[in-house]
Amino acid sequence: MAEADVCRDYLDLLERIAGLEASRVIGVGAEALLIEGYLGGLHVVAKYRVPKVYRAEQLDAHLRRFRTALEAKLLGRAAAAGVNVPHVIYVDAEEGLLVLTYIEGERMKELLQSGCEDAEKLAGEIGYMVGVLHNEGIIHGDLTTSNIIVQGGRPYIIDFGLGFFSHRTEDAGVDLHLFKRALESTHPSLVEGIFSRFIEGYRSARGSVAEEVLRKVEEIRMRGRYVAQRRRKLFW
């Protein structure tokens, strides 16, 4: 069956489950199908965790249910803490369906590539929001410039699909490390200015705790360098 037909089947399913009026498929990822549409007149994005035929049926149902419910809880806690995130409109964990407000704007990745004048200011705001998330024990898990959308001059953090709850310094450090790695890989000339402003915002949210996390970030980076050096010795 063609991919378009498969997507059409899923769109029909979501219409039956939640009454979603689908406009277009935004993306087909490894884990979920993203659909822009309307629900009760609200502009939304639906995230549907597609069943995986290669997994045992009971395990697949458990994972889809657990991850959908967890993502909804993470977003709810983040919103309650004042972080700019999509709001949860509808959840059906049994079906693996999460419907969120649609954040219309431009990804931070594209803004940086186009030479955004407010880039450092936005970085400071993003750093502060990440600090608030970590204060709440929320780890994003995939903190990149592709998962930040700027709407009306305000940054929104999206896609908590790999997120989880944790107060471990290691987990917070990995979040910051991922963000810096994302900058280094896609915007190398901007790393110093953007990341320093990000850290200023992070410190303002976390206070002295931020220093412990930053030490962990450096430790994580050193581990990565050590592994890279070992690989070079083994294969060259």
Taking only the tens place, the pLDDT of each residue in 174-217 is 999 999 999 999 888 889 999 999 999 999 999 999 999 999 99
Q: Tell me if residue 99 falls in helix, strand or coil.
A: strand
| pLDDT confidence tier of residue 226, bands split at 50, 70 and 90 | very low
- Pair 56, 41: CB distance under 8 Å: no
**Average of pLDDT values for 163-181?**
97
Q: Give the H/E segment covering residue 168.
A: none
**Confidence check: pLDDT of 230 > 90:** no
- Pair 37, 69: CB distance under 8 Å: no
> Residue 70 burial by CB count (10 A; 0-12/13-18/19+): exposed, middle or buried?
middle
- Pair 46, 35: CB distance under 8 Å: yes
| Residues tagged active-site | 142
**Average of pLDDT values for 45-62?**
91
Domains and CATH numbers, the chain: 3-101 (3.30.200.20), 106-235 (1.10.510.10)
**Average of pLDDT values for 1-6?**
50
CA 232 to chain centre: 32
φ/ψ of residue 33, rounded to 5: -105, 130
Residue linked to tokens 């994580």: 220
- Rounded to an integer, what distance in angstroms lies between the CA atom of residue 27 and that of residue 36? 9
Question: Does the pTM of the predicted model rise above 0.95?
Answer: no
Task: Report percent pLDDT > 90 for the chain.
Answer: 71
Taking only the tens place, the pLDDT of each residue in 9-51 is 777 777 777 788 888 888 887 788 899 999 989 999 999 998 8
**Confidence check: pLDDT of 229 > 50:** no
DSSP sequence for 198-225: HHHHHHHHHTTHHHHHHHHHHHHHHHHH
**Confidence check: pLDDT of 72 > 80:** yes
Half-sphere exposure of 161 (CA within 13 A, CB side): 19
Comparing 139 with 24, the larger pLDDT belongs to 139
